[in-house]
Homo-oligomer: A and B are copies of this chain.
Amino acid sequence: MERLSEKQIEQQLEALEGWSLEDEKWIVKKYRFKQYLDGIDFVKSIADRSEEVQHHPLISIDYKLITVKLSSWKAKGLTDLDFQLAADYDRLYR
Contacts and interface: CB of A to CB of B under 8 A. Distances in A.
A36 B47 CA distance: 8
Copies per complex of this chain: 2
Range class of the A interface residue count:
10 to 19
A31 to B, nearest CB: 14
A40 B37 contact: no
Contact of A36 (B36, B56, B61): B56
Nearest to A56: B63
A87 to B, nearest CB: 20
Interface in A53-72: 56, 58-63
A56 B58 CA distance: 19
A43 B56 contact: no
